[in-house]
Structure 1
Amino acid sequence: MIHRRTPARLRRRVPVLFSGLLLLTLLPVAAPGARAAVSAEPAEPAVAWRVGAAPFGLTFLDHGRPVTAEAGGAVAGPGGRLSYQVGGSATSQEGATYHRLTDLVSRRDVPGGTAYTVATDEPARTATVTVTRTAQGVRVRWSLRPSGDVTAVFEALTAGGAEHYLGGSSAAYVDLRGHIRGWSPGKEGNEAGDYCQNQEQSASTFYLSSGGYGLWADTDHVGRFAFPGATHGSDGPTCANTPKPPSGAAQPYPCPVAATARPDRVQICVKDAGLSYDVYTGSPAAVTSAYYRTVGLPSMPPASEFALMKWRDVNADQAQVLDDVAQLKRLDIPLGTIWIDNPWERQPAGNTHRINGSACTNSGEFDPTFFPDPQRMIDEIHAQGVRFGLWVTSHVVSAPSSSQGGGSCAGINDVWAKNGWLVPGTNYIDFTNPAAREHYVDQLTRIFRMGVDLAKEDRSEEYRFETTPFAGGPGAGLYLRYPDLYQSAVTEAMRRAHGNDFETLVRAGVPGTAQHTHGMWGSDVFETFAGLRTSVRYGTSESLTGHFAWGSDTGGIDPKAPANATNSPTPSLFTRWAQFSAVSPVFEVGGAGLNATPWKYDPDTIRRFRDAVTLHYELFPYLYGLARTASRTGVPILRAVGFQYPGDENAWAQDQEFMVGPDLLAAPVTADRADADGAAGRPTPVDVYLPAGRWVDLYSGQVVDGGRTITRETSLDEFPLYLRAGASIGFNTRALGGWRTGELSRPGLSGSLYAPEPGHAVRLRVSGATEQQAVVLLPQAPRSVTVAGRALPHAADTGALRTAREGWTFTSGPFGGVVLKLSPHGRAADVTIR
């Protein structure tokens, strides 16, 4: 049920969901086909451990089969197992020494497991390693006595030569083997390359292995994973720009990993005096689900999160915001939400220079010059069935630079500095200060009650707070929680204003933030095909961190030399990026160039953009159903091919294609040559790896045998998109109607897309109390279609079928096949296509 405190006229235009939309109501009967490699509802794991005494060591088993163990050797320090650092500080390893645990001394039973006393190579220090069963797996917890001078701990687990790893977000790769993954939000390491800028990176202390297990380090302290083959220098310690220490704070050193490659182990380093971690076993889906049942399941976004979102880098005024809605309506492009980005708040007196960053952020007021009647603007947007959003931030601009408008914010937003509510050395709000947090929440609540439905939550990951004091304590234990502190405050304001009916879009995350946020966007990438490739990697890897409703800035935002004359994405790039957004859970478009005004592109580019938006709406039932699964299990919507097919070595090599759920494989066109190809009207060859089984090319209708790489010649009007033969997914075909502004679905648009196995008779079963439609992917028209033995009327074309009560027709071309329109059926009935 939707609870919404907005005018009744808007409530009537909010998309109506009905039971048929959320379940596949048209299902194949006894249709043979390849089984999905993972289940959306994984079974409970059965994890156990075995102990070695001299030296002490743990082996982890799944149903009696070893899956990993504490690595061998007697190395103390980085790269070693069960070892630790004494001395040094958060900013230096000067004077530090390394030590390790040695042999088992004694054991005793504890609830759910065993506590082991283990000697160390220091006569005056011992360790306690406690291993217990949990509802999801096994928990290992070890600490040292005494522990006051311990500054870091190290663990290492065995790794096979063919193991691959997923976890966290990455600009440069999906498979983590050979790389380092830092736990700090924001960029870290040379892996970021050109993308060492203020983009999101979720700080993930979780990874899963193709070897059949996963690990979660339960800590709020800074640490790193180093996967087999990685070295300290291979990915570099930090980016030059972000995250950076606050002014006056010391630069902390990265948690150390081995200086030489260790191909036989996964290294874990934590800058703390102890370590707790959980081990889960099973398939990637089972491991992922166990992890999220431990830390908290992601929240379920509202349906509106999946509708088209629109924004500009800078809106000139409120009239322009209203005109943007009108322009998309004129082009018959459905729009769900429009938001105003930075700036929208008050600017310094006399400042008419309006660019990104020129506002006095967190003043809590619309600028009266450019937004003289914001309530009227919001009401007019709502009246058209469109939701309204605002950019919000955790930072306070007190004096914009001359490049950002200039002037002083004195008397506008200096309450934060005057009350000491900022993190020392920064312009970030200290949310550990109760007074600061309450003022922030109260201020946002007042604004959100005007009818703000979405909060685009920017910033929160640009500073490294490890050596910075907060009101609530030292930064060492609070740094990783900062995005969560900020985002939970925004969510509280939204709930005060609207109950549970709101949208959020964030750019940074840590374990747990997905419990009270809805969506994430990959921010600030370049307007290049390299930027698109980066976004594909981000979307594939980021979704495993719980932020499964993910999308990117369609077309990018930052120009990069050689930039085109308008600093805008070229028509080819914009088209290819829109195709990627079509299969992403979140489809948002905007920026500083023509992607903010897509109606200014040439007619063919506009048409292709409309087609991409329409495809996204056609896929809404499938995406929404996957979101429901993700909110119950943590299993993401966008998945690495290796996640779905963990035993397929070739699947792990793919970082420019991905699975959308278990049945749809997408390979967006991301090669640099696509720009010249598109301009010249040439197709672009795309290498696509298809896992074993049969796959249906949704644009050509061709059935392709998998287990190999094919090269697909791809025009600008299409991209490689394959449905697994034998699969049926939720799908609202455009053949039987389109979408109006503010609409995601309505009776008559609910249905399925089915790819029958070639050579088999097509029999389906239908039941439901609402009108339904379906597309059955067949290469040629059938002789007849019957429902419960009764002939279904044949319509000449889709136009005739739209006006008919029920019937079928055949279409060729993209997504072609038998289009069915079925009247309500109270009882199950078989549909036979001959």
Structure 2
Amino acid sequence: MIHRRTTARLRRRAIVPLLGLLLPLAFAPPGARAAESPASWRVTAAPFSLTFLDHGRAVTGEAGGTPEGPGGRLSYQVGGSATSQEGATYHRLTDLVARRPVRGGTAYTVATDEPGRTATVTVTRTSQGVRVRWSFAPSSDVTAVFEALTARGDEHYLGGSSAAYVDLRGHIRGWSPGKEGNEAGDYCQNQEQAASTFYLSSGGYGLRAATDHVGRFAFPGATQQSDGPTCAKTPKPPTGAADPYPCPVAATAQPDRVQICVKDAELTYDVYTGSPAAVTGAYYRTVGLPGMPPASQFALMKWRDVNADQAQVLDDVAQMKKLDIPLGTIWIDNPWERQPAGNTHRINGSACTNTGEFDPTFFPDPQKMIDTIHAQGVRFGLWVTSHVVSAPSSSQGGGTCAGLNDIWAKNGWLVPGTNYIDFTNPAARERYVEQLTRIFRMGVDMAKEDRAEEYRLETTQFAGGSGAGLYLRYPDLYQSAVTEAMRRAHGNDFETLVRAGVPGTAQHTHGMWGSDVFETFAGLRTSVRYGTSESLTGHFAWGSDTGGIDPQSPADATNSPTPSLFTRWAQFSAVSPVFEVGGAGLNATPWKYDADTVRRFRDAVVLHYELFPYLYGLARNAARTGVPILRAVGFQYPGDQAAWAQDQEFMVGPDLLAAPVTADRADADGAAGRPTPVEVYLPAGRWVDLYSGEVVDGGRTITRQTSLDEFPLYLRAGATIGFNSRVLGGWRTDELSKPGLTGWLYAPGAGGTARFRVPATTGRAQVVVPLRQPPRSVTVDGRTLPRAADTTALRAAGDGWTFAPGPFGGVVLTLTSQGRPADVTIR
């Protein structure tokens, strides 16, 4: 079969980490090795409180005062239920009563303000930080627990994904998979929502709540009133289930503390200390490192909101090939499965999902289609879902799915009150995995995993237990089933894109996409925030629908996204780890744009491919450490207050700063052929503008006039990154890497001389050094390189250099392998 041989070839092409009760004191458990973690703690006995230290320096601790309930430290709720606080009372821990040593730390017995109830607070040192676990005796009727840590006025915070902000100060972040907190209006689209029980602070620490129960963080200054409302449509409680109340936070703003609330009878949390990278690494070494995707995950992906038939899928590949635009994967979105009998009205949502069969009318020979795509060196993917459509509405084609997919409901394999498959039911899970495995073995290399966060499942009952402890796990249960099917079919050589995330999902998925946003510059701004804030959830291989998905009302797929918006979004995708394009507008057929827009789109895709070695290296580091590829500027520069104010620029790894053009005026500017002024904050140091070669002093905000052919992209002076420049040719359109041809990009500082080291390579290395004028000479290890007249002559020569003007131009030099690093001097 062609698909098996071709799939194997595609895999081979892939690029193969209290000594006294009355006095506070620092405590490190006997025998603990300092190298394990710099974190320790200090105890105050009356009232009982904890302070957390990094190398003996206090970085945070339990907040002051003795309030009961939300906003108070070591506080708890008695009574009420998951759906109501009626009859609930609040209480708190008071003074230390006793202590006893435990392995790695101490268990403290603490009184409460309730007669007959005590708490045990066990604090231990782990290899990564400090763990705090507190529980009650008795624990009956405890329905929520509250903690509060100190916060300075200049502290900033990063955590789970958000469409509305990057810095979490002043905001609330819920741990549930669905929307919560300032997500109204346009933000209520079906956007991905990666819940996170982890946050980090610019103050030198991070915290992870070790729980599968629903909870919230309320950061300094946040209130429910100022940070709401929540989205009305998604997530919603199942039919017949009660609507749960949000985990309570203080009714008034608390500027001096981070509030933690969990709806459970106990609380365990880990405190990590150090830089953002150190804290992030410690967190992921605790919970499990993200999975490493195959190299093909970084190639261009293409899709449509609805494909008319299999001939159109093949034509889409042909159109991209005709335009010489690199293409790595094409997938078919919903609907591809069987339609209700007699239904010829195919739109998104009209299929009987989880039938496990292609619709025979529109995809009469799916195996031939897949084989034909593979024969062109392109991977093939399918949209999959956790929900079962039993009867599409009339607006989605109408008809019944009886006899096609009703096995799920007939066997009781759905979560009660929903159309979601219950993956805690072993029989349902195995049916789902077997069905997908059979489909994937046809040569399906990629799965776009939609849904999983549209229901608030906290008050329902799964086959495996109460939704109180399973709701937070649902996306992981679903996505791990898809991954098992993929691994049965292809081992670990597969691609995924998911839209919902919770702690753990990043360990067995390979990518995430920004999901449904409008085809507007507001949608682009939302996506930039998502891509940046998503970074700490482990889904480092992230991308967005280039151009958005839905034309804003009134919908008009003939002129949306506009050429300017499509170009600016493509530039954002160029520096995102995942570059995918498609939707319900013209972005599904980029060849229908004018020639200049097509050229600019191709340029963006080529830039993404040129950046592949840098992105792939960052991905390998992320898989080893959890440190993300896309980073808030404040993550890289935590002591820089101005860096935390940036939500429309970000770092790509430690050295590359990108500021996509996202202002509304960019549409009119582009249409009129005039540049758009973009304000860019550059942290202290020197930065090289990769489009102009200008060296710019940082520590300030500059205004860059930016034409449609470029966007603000800066490399830190003195940095060398992998960069497979196409300026010398020799690359096939779809190649991410080429054996024997390694590329580097070096950013010189200001001055007349540039000195840097080229790492040891195999084969021929090509190095680009952005300069505005040709130098006098180029030497390598003291040996003068000859200058070639142009890039054509240099391509034919051995070692040498030339000067190539234009974007990403400057000195281009080639070196043959010497088996060791080479020192280059440019004067």
TM bucket, shorter chain: over 0.9
The Cα offsets for residues 267-299 of structure 1, whole Å up to 9 and x where unpaired, read as: 000000010000000000000000000000001
Shift of 1:190: 2.8
Structure 1 distance, partners of 2:15, 2:80, is: 61
**How many correspondences in the alignment?**
809
What is the CA–CA distance in structure 2 between the aligned matches of 1:415 and 1:11, rounded to whole Å? 35
- Closer, same or farther in 2 for the Cα pair 1:790/1:179, shift >3 Å? same
Q: Amino acid of the residue matched to residue 770 of structure 1? A: G
Residue 388 of structure 1 deviates from its aligned partner by: 0.4
* Alignment correspondent of 1:284: 276
Q: Which residue of 2 aligns with 1:171?
A: 163
Amino acid at match of 1:89: S
| Aligned partner of residue 688 in structure 2, secondary structure | strand
Q: Secondary structure at the match of 1:117?
A: strand
Q: Of 799, 804, 826, which aligns to 1:806?
A: 799
Percent sequence identity is 86
* Cα distance, 1:567 vs structure 2: 5.7
Match of 2:601 among 601, 609, 619: 609
Task: Determine if contact 1:339/1:390 at 8 Å carries over to the other structure.
Answer: yes
The answer as to whether partners of 1:16 and 1:746 remain within 8 angstroms in 2 is no
1:101 is the counterpart of 2:115: no
Paired residue for 1:822?
815
Partners in 2 of 1:595 and 1:117 — Cα distance? 62
Matches within 5 A, 1:169-248: 169-236=161-228, 238-248=230-240
Q: Judge conservation of contact 2:744–2:767 (CA < 8 Å) in 1.
A: yes
Quote the residue 2:304 is aligned against: 312
Please give the residue correspondences for 1:644-793 in structure 2 after superposition, counting only pairs within 5 Å: 644-737=636-729, 739-740=731-732, 742-747=734-739, 749-759=741-751, 761-766=753-758, 767-793=760-786
* Alignment partner, residue 263 of structure 1: 255
Q: Write out aligned runs for 1:374-773 (5 A).
A: 374-561=366-553, 566=558, 568-737=560-729, 739-740=731-732, 742-747=734-739, 749-759=741-751, 761-766=753-758, 767-773=760-766
Tell me the distance in 1 between the aligned counterparts of 2:730 and 2:623: 29
Q: Which string of whole-angstrom CA distances, capped at 9 and with x for unpartnered residues, describes residues 168-198 of structure 1?
A: 0001000000000000112112334321132
Q: Which amino acid in structure 2 is aligned with residue 689 of structure 1?
A: Y
CA distance, structure 1, for counterparts of residue 394 and residue 424 of structure 2: 32
Distance 1:521 1:751 in 2: 28
List per-residue Cα deviations over 1:34-88 (Å, max 9, x = no partner).
xxxxxxxxx8640010001110000000011000010111110111110100111
* TM norm structure 2: 0.96
Q: How far apart are residue 790 of structure 1 and its match? A: 3.5
Determine if the alignment matches structure 1 residue 84 to structure 2 residue 76.
Answer: yes
AA at the equivalent of 1:372: P
Return the offset for 1:776.
Answer: 1.2
1:373 to 332, 352, 365: 365
For 1:426 and 1:73, locate their aligned partners in 2 and report how far apart those are by CA, in whole Å: 44
| Alignment CA distance shift 1:686-1:324 (3 Å) | same
Superposition deviation, residue 772 in structure 1: 1.1
- Larger deviation, residues 817-826 vs 610-619: 817-826
Distance 2:756 2:182 in 1: 53
Distance 2:566 2:497 in 1: 22
**Which string of whole-angstrom CA distances, capped at 9 and with x for unpartnered residues, describes residues 233-276 of structure 1?**
11126310111001111000000100000000000000000100
Deviation at 1:13, TM superposition (A): 5.0
Q: Residues 278-357 of structure 1: matches in 2 within 5 Å?
A: 278-357=270-349
Deviation at 1:751, TM superposition (A): 1.1
Query: Which one of 796, 814, 823 corresponds to residue 789 of structure 2?
Result: 796
C-alpha displacement of 1:565: 6.7
d(CA) in 2 for partners of 1:353 and 1:825?
63
How far residue 103 of structure 1 moved from its aligned partner, in angstroms, is 0.5
Q: Please say if residues 720 and 744 of structure 2, whose CA atoms lie closer than 8 Å, have aligned partners that are also in contact.
A: yes
**What is the CA–CA distance in structure 1 between the aligned matches of 2:372 and 2:658, rounded to whole Å?**
38
Deviation above 6 Å: which 4+ runs of structure 1? none
Give the SS at the match of 1:7.
Answer: helix
Any residues of structure 2 matched to 1:112-151 within 5 Å, and which? 112-151=104-143
* Structure 1 residue matching 2:183: 3-state secondary structure: helix
Name the CA distance, whole Å, in 2 between partners of 1:381 and 1:334: 14
* CA distance in 2: counterparts of 1:103 and 1:237, whole angstroms: 38
Q: Residue 161 of structure 1 aligns to a residue in which SS?
A: coil
Asked if 1 retains the 8 angstrom alpha-carbon contact of 2:3 and 2:371, the reply is: no
Pick closer, same or farther for the CA change 1:302–1:677 going to 2, 3 Å.
Answer: same
CA contact (8 A) 2:694 2:771 kept: no
Q: Let me know the Cα RMSD of the aligned residues.
A: 1.6
Question: Which of the pair has the greater relative contact order for Cα pairs under 8 Å at 6+ separation?
Answer: 1
2:270 maps to a residue whose letter is: D
Give the 3 Å change call, closer, same or farther, for CA 799–205 of structure 1 in structure 2.
Answer: same
Paired residue secondary structure (1:768): coil
Q: Is the CA contact (8 Å cut-off) linking 2:11 and 2:493 kept in structure 1? A: no
SS in 2 for 1:141: strand
Taking the aligned partners of 2:12 and 2:325, their CA distance within structure 1 comes to 16
What is the DSSP-based 3-state SS (H/G/I as helix, E as strand, rest coil) of the residue aligned with 2:727?
helix
Residue-by-residue CA offset, 1:82-125 (whole Å, 9 max, x unaligned): 01001111111011000000000000000000000000000111
Kept in 2, the 8 Å contact 1:188–1:243? The answer is no
Give 1:110's match in structure 2, choosing from 102, 107, 111: 102
Cα distance in structure 1, aligned partners of 2:15 and 2:460: 51
- Point out the more displaced range, 625-634 or 817-826: 817-826
Query: Helix, strand or coil: the match of 1:466?
Result: helix
Query: Taking structure 1 as reference, are residues 750 and 135 closer, same or farther at Cα in structure 2, changes over 3 Å only?
Result: same
Query: Relative to structure 1, is the Cα distance of residues 797 and 219 closer, same or farther in structure 2, using a 3 angstrom cutoff?
Result: same
Instruction: Name structure 2 gaps, 5 residues minimum.
Output: 18-34
Number of the residue aligned with 2:4: 7
Q: Distance in 2 between matches of 1:182 and 1:483?
A: 15
What letter matches 1:819 in structure 2? V
Answer whether contact 1:663 1:724 (CA < 8 A) is retained. Answer: yes
Determine helix, strand or coil for the equivalent of 2:500: coil
CA-to-aligned-CA distance 1:315-372 (integer Å, 9 cap, x gap):
0111111111111111110100000000000001110111000110000000001101
TM-aligned CA distance change 1:580 to 1:418, over 3 Å: same
User: What residue number does 1:31 align with?
Assistant: none
The normalised TM-score by structure 1 is 0.95
Alignment gaps of 5+ in structure 1: 23-42
- Aligned residue type for 2:133: R
Matches of 2:254 and 2:197 in 1, distance apart? 20
Structure 2 Cα separation of the partners of residues 213 and 475 of structure 1: 32
Q: Deviations over 1:725-752 (max 9, x none)?
A: 0100000112022653542111354211
Q: Is the 8 A contact 1:748 1:773 kept in 2?
A: no
